[in-house]
Amino acid sequence: MLKTFILLGGLTALFMVVGYALGGEAGATMALVMAGGMNLFAWWGSDRMVLRMHNAQPVTEAEAPQLYRMTADLAARAGMPMPALYIIHEEQPNAFATGRSPERGAVAVNTGLLDLMTQEEVAGVVAHELAHIKNRDTLIMAVTATLAGAISFLAQFGMLLGRGRENRPNPIAMILMVILAPLAAMLVQMAISRAREFEADAEGARICGDPSWLANGLARLERGKIGHVNQTAEANPASAHMFIINPLSGLRMDRLFATHPPTEERIARLMAMGGMPPQARPAAPRGTSPWSAPAQRNPWA
């Protein structure tokens, strides 16, 4: 958490440097005010915005009894309130969490994931998302994405404004700032995202009680992603860091700026937690999705 807040401080400082380069002390002050306003928006509205963006539909216990009860049981084991539960009608298997605090958390899984994965794998994925909510990663990542996007916007906007000023900065320096400031912001965002993913994997394994559940789930998600393009995520790549695995297909060289660590490394770390080498425990055979069926014996109790 200390490293995360240092990186967030670095992003805020970079935002003020860009503001100062564009408008001196007044520009730095304006950038600070803008950062505060954007972070307030991220605090209050980012969760609802991303759920609407991906057309996530709320579900009740009556509509998805086993998924709902499993999530409630895992939340109790994590010592946190039951989050709001959403389902996204999307073939690419994936999931994400949002919400600024455990009391306002939400977990969204898509139909591709529910159709593809075993009960234990779904439990591992949901536990990972609960870990993000418990650690308040959802708030941190919303603020990080907001700041990174604002730095890119401010640098580009400043380049346009600078053209008509008599005392504008050196044009070469302006061009370098326009290129390097957003790049630095993206690198900081990547560093924060990757660190929080590793921590959520470890905490999720502790919540569900078996690291191999999440490890097998990650492997199945990575395989299931092949051949399925998430059009909503492609149109809104700023939300990609929220998903458990990168939903982007790499059509726009996304891999160069991936916000997720390599899935193979995540699996290896999880298996090391359980004292097993990667792929030592095979995944359970895939069956039909039980989540919309009448409730069965809860295997997570």
Q: Hey, what are 257's tokens?
A: 């700026």
Distances (CA, A) of 132 to 123, 203, 212, 231, 244: 14, 9, 19, 24, 10
Distances (CA, A) of 30 to 26, 40, 179: 6, 15, 21
Is 129 a catalytic site residue? yes
Q: Report the C-alpha gap between 13 and 25 in whole angstroms.
A: 13
18 neighbors 138 (Cβ within 8 angstroms): no
> What are the helix (H) ranges across 118-236?
119-134, 137-161, 171-208, 211-224, 231-235
96 neighbors 243 (Cβ within 8 angstroms): yes
Q: In whole angstroms, how large is the CA radius of gyration of the chain?
A: 21
**What residues contact residue 262 under an 8 Å CB cut-off, 6+ apart?**
none
The residue annotated as part of the active site, out of 120, 121, 129, 203, is 129
Active site residues: 129
